[in-house]
Structure 1
Amino acid sequence: MVGSELQRRVDALAEDLGRSVAINDPSVRLLCASRHFGDEDAVRVRTMLQRSAGSEAIGHILAQGVTRWTGPGVIPPRPDLDMLARVSMPLRWRGTLLGLLMVIDPDGTLTAADLDAVKAAAEPMAALLYRDFLVADSERAAREETLRRLLSADPAERAVTHDFPDTSTVLIAEVLSGESARIEVALRTSLAAATRGREPSFYVRGRQGVLLGAADAAAIVKQAEDVLGAGARCVAGIGTSADGQAWIARDRAAVAVRAAATLPRFDGIAHWDDLGAYGLLLRVPAPARAHLPEPLLALVAKDPGGRLVETLAAYLDHAGSSLDTAAALHIHRTSLYYRLHRIEEITGLDLADGEHRLTLHLGLKLLPLVRD
């Protein structure tokens, strides 16, 4: 929590303007706020109650480029979120962005004198934030470094004292596409929401956020994408370790997040327990198409619609059971036998031969991982 002096300054500015005022951190998480002045909207009420404006509102604010502003600017309303217009002023100290000063201004009636008052209040507020930032950031960095070491594959690094309660589950969220300037904010916002009510247990490196402990992966992905805005894509992988070895859970989560990014069957969220053979295949470098078995490449070339490839995959996944395969494909067994015969003709392989089946099955599993 911020100090009482910063709260006093926020209250004083609000009284001078007769408007609701708040200070958020650069991730648009509430730090302190004045009382309401009858101009509150649903986003402000939610923020006061939950200390978060919600991922869609955060994404809207960041989409205005507010973190790059050098002076006060207007954040337009979002009627669908019941969000009124605001004037925002970045709070910087010696070039470091420490917060966002927000003043509700639904009808654009803040005067030039009002804006001068906002700008005058910004510098001392930034100085107070910087003081708190130095303490909080060093504590956060130390905790994140302890977590990083706990999850390391190096036994020497893992020998750290920690107070993390759940070491059996690790979740990795990875941003595959989205504005680079918003990636860390998006990951920290979604992971902080997932750990609300407990001690934070995550860190962010590049495009990945690593969380220790169980969490709602779908909610994390959605919140990150909301903050990043239209066209963004985030995926998640979950790894577990039955004996509570966190580094093993992290290793498995790293494989799972690659599966989530690569294999459509997982729809963006993959759990280690569901990977099957991909738990091993995703640990090896992605093959080039030319490295796949030639019989399978011949089948793919002769089957542009993918019907025969789909049939072969279903047949092998069902252990060669014609009854189960026909049911899975919703076709008559006569049609299935015809397709299997065509597959054998094109590939030159015998589906009754175990080695031939293994060659084709392995090739099919590797096909989605191919690097072109």
Structure 2
Amino acid sequence: MSTSPEMPYPLDLGRLDDDLTSPQLAAMYRALVEEIPAVLYINGPQENSPTLYVSPRTNEVLGLPPQGWYDDTWSTHVHPDDRATVDANYVAALRHGASEAIDEYRFVRPDGQVVWLHDSIRVIRDDDGSPTLVQGVMFDITARKRSEELLSRQAALVERIAAVGQRFTQLLLEGGDLQAILDALADIVSAPVVFDDAARQLVGFATTAAMDDARLLEVWASHGHRGHVPDVHEECVWMPVRLRHEEWGRLHVLTDGAKSATRGAATDADGNGTETGTDPDEIDVIATDRAAAAIGLWLLSRQDRVALADRARSELIADLWQGRRWSAPDALARSRSLGGDLDRPVLLGVAVEFGREGPPAGSGAPDAATVRLLDSAHAEIRRFASAEGLSCMAAVVGSVCLAIVGFSTEAAARPVLGRLGAQLESLSRAESRGRTVAVGVSRPGSADGLRRILTEATDAAAHGAHSVRASGTYHSADLGLRHLLARLGDGPELGRFVEDELGPLLAHDATGRAPLIPTLRAFLDSGGRKSTAARTLHLERRSLYYRLERIEKFLEIDLADPSARLRVEVAVQGLDVLRQRRPGYGEPE
């Protein structure tokens, strides 16, 4: 490979003015070449031929002295991702008889700066078509490339923004709720999302693979009450959710420590690796803004938007009651985010149920009058807990008002709950037109037994509302057999026992004809006194006798036999427990 910078000037310059001498022509040509803001070079005709000449602009454009061309140093500075393509294109131009070829690629200067080159070559051939020289010229097109990249990014950004807006609009049009909006936002920004109300209570959230429920609640415990001043360096992106110019709550994207696990390195227009870190990008901010607007529209479309935090509490308590989703630590963290710290030594479950004709609660949606009573009971429990300084989480779940109340000692619990029961009974007399109100209270428990205390409380309330049918406070510890059946209700044994004892009656009642289970229950509740049972059912004795005979025939028993009557009494109480836990169990369709 030649190391001489002397140019042999093999070019055919054509006819020039006869007055110009060859040295003058060479000087003019050299001046012209050296003033062009580009790198001009001449190579030999073969694929591996050395460079014969390169203009001095190589220093300015590429950061390399001319010597870097003669010793082939320049080729090692071609961007590694482009090197193979550049070599292949040059060889193809020589082999396939092309007279001109253009290539664009990246070049890494010795100072690390990446520039884009437009490299145009012309193959000079002899009369036989064989290549004699290769003339080339390189221009720095970095500014143009970056402009193109910027325009491309802006076009992609506009397209993504439109898609984000359309996604939230489509969600609302399809009837999507708050959780659907939060899930969509978390998916777009690849980070956990939190929505809180004006009281800074966590109303809803969506997690990602990088942060589960427990971790999010832990982060939110310290993050939720911090002051949020708009700042690009904030550890979260947040937007206010406004209803009629009033801030209802805030929507947060927790970027701190969350995105780094889900977002890797990015590549800029020059191919340089850049760490995305946890800083929000334009899409995060715009998506959060669109989601906040979607939540505002969703809230405006709901008449009960003021009770959104109550609905979140209801979902939590329903999950705990059904044994879904929450471990003890997570449940405590979630309760704190909803304004009810249940991290207390003694926890008791409280259930309020209003008596009505027919099957126990849980066997269908409550009527409008019951809904009003349950809402009043819920408000009264919260007022009472606040006045007594108690830690309390309360919500209406189906046709029962449920609460978990925390105490410092077990001794303090019973008298306080006695006062609560008296206040709820007083409320019932004022609003329910004589309907009974049963307040069920569980045995003491802890955060590890939240499902148990809720189940015991609902069983005790159902016992008072539908078995005793009298207003009062009923403690699970006082129920005896009912408490035992409630514990059996978690497994299959109780269901099998009820089917064995009452199966034919349940099959009969399922046909839609006059049910016989209520008659059997009234007879048992009256202690086997037929006259009392007839008055309770508003039947003539003859009609009652006929029904009892049919019951004995279906069950193949003698109700006068104490042992047989005891079995069916236990089965009827077991049926009540099952219906409390499985709405619609054994009822006519």
Normalising by structure 1, we get a TM-score of 0.44
The structure richer in helix per residue is: 1
Higher relative contact order (CA 8 A, sep 6+): 1
Select the structure of larger CA radius of gyration. 2
